[in-house]
Structure 1
Amino acid sequence: MADVSRRVLIAAAAIAAPMLQAAAAPAKRTRKAPPGFLWGTAISAYQSEGNNTNSDAWLMENIQPSMFKERSGDACDSYHRYKEDFALAARLGFNCYRLGIEWARIEPSEGRFSNAELDHYARMLTACRAHGLRPIVTFNHFTTPLWFAMRGGFEAADSPDLFARYCGRAAQHLGGVMHMATTFNEANIQLLVHLFPAFSAGIPKAREAIAAAARATNSPRFSRLAYADPAIVTPIMQEAHRRGYDAIKAVRPSLPVGITLTTQDIQGPPEIAAQYRDRLYGGWADVARSHADFFGVQTYTRFSVDANGFVPPPKGAEMTGAGYEFYPQALANTIRWAHAAIGKPIYVTESGIATDDDTRRIAFIDQALDGVRQCLDEGIPVHSYLYWSLLDNFEWTSGYGPHFGLVSVDRETFARKAKPSAMHLGAIARGNRL
């Protein structure tokens, strides 16, 4: 705790203590969670750190035409305020913290690694552990260094080698402080974007922005991960994961390394739903079976399909602030799918809701946790529940409008304020009951 300042601890206590005293342990949770169960939150580096000027996403925010509603700017300033975030998460009652490291900071130009940035992340992970939080580290969360995007991103045939080199260097410097790691966040994101109408509607605008980025950088091969051609990028990313996994294991053999996918619940006639799942997961289940120590489920909603394609949500269905259906029951269904299809230990690495009505966030959390309990009762090995996200942060092309956080962030002062949902989930975590 020596590296944690008195000011940070006092500030975190002032934020959380009065509300924690008022928060009673939620009722009706009598099932003890399994030994070692991880309770926490997830966040990405780019969405919270701020001023990641060497990233492909930063360029995409600032060119015209842009596909972003607003710029990330300082974000939550977590690059500097990470100790405050850790102190708050620990005070709430969590025992782990999923976060990312930024490739664009660590390797700002091709083949040139920044020891200063690696040392920054080492201090960060050490502080995380000092607060009693086990760090789960994501090596890539959608963004890449600008130089990497300019040469074709994950559409370039040699990109798996470059990704593996980065993974090995980062693991050598940081792996000893990590609790667990994942190579990619939602490695199948491009399949989701191109498959579901709610996301694919943005592809024409994205292509215009990518063309503008190519012109601005004089790089005709410019590529942005989420909007890359799935037929090209999927097999290359699968190889990048395999090589990244091997590179991490080569220097940190005992570090558990897994993968996360976007695992939305697809409902409909069994054969048709299975076809859509095959399209969404695109062979990633096979990759996870051979090159993952665990599998991260990341579920937010359901999608319904029939013989004619996608079916709109039922009339009158509650919709979240992110524009999709309020359906926390989806989590149990995707856990069941992952257990049957992959058979590895399952961690819920993201589950959350965008809403300005915190009572609905509490309801979402409760119903999602009911599903986790049901899966455990069925004998499925579920080892965590990580809510997205600790903070209201930068939600990519949607800007700062959608609020997923358990904690609000003042856009001018960066002051953190825990919401009732933070105390609610924190009380559940402290009780370690589902």
Structure 2
Amino acid sequence: MRKLLALATAVAAVAAVVAATRPQPAEARATAEPFLWGVATAGFQSEGDAPDSNWRRYAEKKEPYRQAVDFRHRYAEDIANAAAMGARVFRFSVEWARVEPRPGVVDEAALAFYDDVVGKIRAAGMRPMITLDHWVYPGWAVDTGGWTTDAMIDRWLTNARRVVQRYAGADALWITFNEPTVYVQMELTNGGIKVWEAPAMFDRLVRAHRAAYDIVHELDPGAPVSSNAAYIPAVQPVLDASFLDRVRDKLDFAGLDFYYGASLDNPTAVHAAAGEFWKVKPQPDGLYYALRYYARKFPRLPLYVVENGMPTDNGKPRPDGYTRSDHLRDHIYWLQRAKADGIDVIGYNYWTITDNYEWGSYRPRFGLYTVDAATDPALTRRPTDAVATFRELVDGGGVTAGYRPKQDPGLCSVVDGLHSCLHPARLGPVAPLG
């Protein structure tokens, strides 16, 4: 989710010039349901058979896309694997480029595919978390200006209404835009917009989200809606000013994606500047600070960790011996610490159920199930150590009361700016998640 820390900091400069409205937060819509353990994936990154889109075109200058991990034909296996781990939520995206390959032309076979995805998720006892836009839009929309034009808002909303109407009543959780600030940054990086067009793109994403929120509540009453923010240490308040603060009255929960921390004794985030994300030392206590930040910002909204995961270098073990299981347990520990301190966290999704196409490369491996997309024609799903760990955590409601994280807390974390240095997280006992 991704995952592009270095480039995202450039968005801070753009976001600083965006005027942010700050309406009052909506009333909390938390429920008494059990904690929502989930897994996540995304259309272009996993489906294969990619139709013409902005990202199909961007990929022509990157590592060959091939067939990704062929979720298009292997989704039943991936959904079954998620259910076997005890997941209660399966996040995926409905690809606008697949559903509407030409302006006004709807591909019913594509919709039938997504019908079956939703059906199998429900049959497996899970809830779908449906993302309407995971950074991908049709090639014909590119050719008519994409997010540089106001016309894009109505085109996007027409598709959003189509999708919401089709899956209303499926007990879905809805995500409008995946990581809006990184969406803008990716469009900047890949040439979809120019620097001076970034503020207008933020404005259009805000307008589209606000309208989509109302569409969901009209067509799928009671279904929760959000947009997940990519949490970037130290600069998140500036990034939030560009989007999240401007839609705070149109959120039913606050969704966040957390991958990397930063502290005085952990300078490894510099590796992200070279795209070597597997060299960044994880800082699990940063999740606690990120949750605490949003609990202060949105005191009446429940929080959901929409993405969290760890990349490895082509599936190789980390030189420091830190495993995917260690990473998973440590982050869940800090989530439980947040709950123990009264923070209303209702769910956690692991990114991702399988390795996939990480926006130009198969080298970063985030999957609970690893897949050698570039070298294995069979695209075999092979479980990592964290598959059994995920099941163990679901069954136990998280880590045990006396668990001690493998990764020590950072010295003066700056995930939440100076606040996280002055008010450091405390190690201590935890209680099971609901």
Task: Compute the TM-score of the two structures, normalised by the length of structure 2.
Answer: 0.76
Q: Which amino acid aligns with 1:294?
A: F
Among 264, 287, 291, the residue aligned to 2:232: 264
Is the contact between residue 190 and residue 230 of structure 1 (CA under 8 Å) also seen in structure 2?
A: no
Q: Deviations over 1:53-76 (max 9, x none)?
A: 2221112222xxx2x2x1222111
Is the contact between residue 135 and residue 183 of structure 2 (CA under 8 Å) also seen in structure 1?
A: no
Q: Which amino acid aligns with 1:385?
A: Y
Is the contact between residue 336 and residue 398 of structure 2 (CA under 8 Å) also seen in structure 1?
A: no
Matched, 1:348 2:348: no
Inter-CA distance 152–224: structure 2 relative to 1 (3 Å threshold): same
Q: Which amino acid aligns with 1:106?
A: V
Query: Structure 2: how far apart are the matches of 1:234 and 1:54?
Result: 24
Tell me the residue number matched to 1:127: 120
Is the contact between residue 317 and residue 325 of structure 1 (CA under 8 Å) also seen in structure 2?
A: no
Query: Structure 2: how far apart are the matches of 1:403 and 1:378?
Result: 33
Alpha-carbon offset, residue 323 of structure 1: 4.8
Tell me the residue number matched to 1:167: 160
Tell me the residue number matched to 2:392: 427
Query: Structure 1: how far apart are the matches of 2:171 and 2:101?
Result: 22
Alpha-carbon offset, residue 389 of structure 1: 0.7
Alpha-carbon offset, residue 115 of structure 1: 2.4
Q: Which amino acid aligns with 2:35?
A: F
Q: Which amino acid aligns with 2:154?
A: D
Structure 1 stretches lacking a partner, 5+ long: 1-33, 195-199, 211-222, 267-275, 305-310
Query: Structure 1: how far apart are the matches of 2:157 and 2:343?
Result: 32
Alpha-carbon offset, residue 265 of structure 1: 2.5
Tell me the residue number matched to 1:241: 209
Is the contact between residue 129 and residue 174 of structure 2 (CA under 8 Å) also seen in structure 1?
A: yes
Alpha-carbon offset, residue 42 of structure 1: 0.9
Tell me the residue number matched to 1:145: 138
Query: Structure 1: how far apart are the matches of 2:338 and 2:255?
Result: 15
Is the contact between residue 307 and residue 350 of structure 2 (CA under 8 Å) also seen in structure 1?
A: yes
Q: Deviations over 1:225-284 (max 9, x none)?
A: 9x8842221111111111122222222122211111111232xxxxxxxxx333222242
Alpha-carbon offset, residue 77 of structure 1: 0.7
Tell me the residue number matched to 2:267: 314
Alpha-carbon offset, residue 181 of structure 1: 0.9
Is the contact between residue 45 and residue 99 of structure 1 (CA under 8 Å) also seen in structure 2?
A: yes
Is the contact between residue 350 and residue 386 of structure 1 (CA under 8 Å) also seen in structure 2?
A: yes
Among 363, 369, 375, the residue aligned to 2:338: 375
Give the aligned length: 355
Alpha-carbon offset, residue 318 of structure 1: 9.5
Q: Which amino acid aligns with 2:383?
A: A
Tell me the residue number matched to 1:108: 101
Query: Is the partner of 2:50 in helix, strand or coil?
Result: coil
Among 405, 408, 413, the residue aligned to 2:370: 408
What RMSD over aligned residues (CA atoms) do the two structures have, in Å? Answer: 2.5
Query: Structure 1: how far apart are the matches of 2:59 and 2:163?
Result: 27
Matched, 1:85 2:78: yes
Alpha-carbon offset, residue 187 of structure 1: 1.4
Matches within 5 A, 1:274-285: 276-285=235-244
Task: Compute the TM-score of the two structures, normalised by the length of structure 1.
Answer: 0.76
Is the contact between residue 191 and residue 281 of structure 1 (CA under 8 Å) also seen in structure 2?
A: no
Is the contact between residue 210 and residue 247 of structure 2 (CA under 8 Å) also seen in structure 1?
A: no
Tell me the residue number matched to 2:350: 387
Alpha-carbon offset, residue 316 of structure 1: 11
Query: Is the partner of 1:302 in helix, strand or coil?
Result: coil
Q: Deviations over 1:326-358 (max 9, x none)?
A: 212221111111111123111111001101327
Alpha-carbon offset, residue 87 of structure 1: 0.8
Structure 2 stretches lacking a partner, 5+ long: 1-31, 400-434
Tell me the residue number matched to 2:35: 37
Query: Is the partner of 1:144 in helix, strand or coil?
Result: coil
Among 289, 294, 299, the residue aligned to 2:248: 289
Alpha-carbon offset, residue 143 of structure 1: 0.8
Inter-CA distance 72–228: structure 2 relative to 1 (3 Å threshold): farther
Matches within 5 A, 1:207-246: 210=191, 223=192, 229-246=197-214
Inter-CA distance 143–178: structure 2 relative to 1 (3 Å threshold): farther
Q: Which amino acid aligns with 1:340?
A: R
Query: Is the partner of 1:265 in helix, strand or coil?
Result: coil
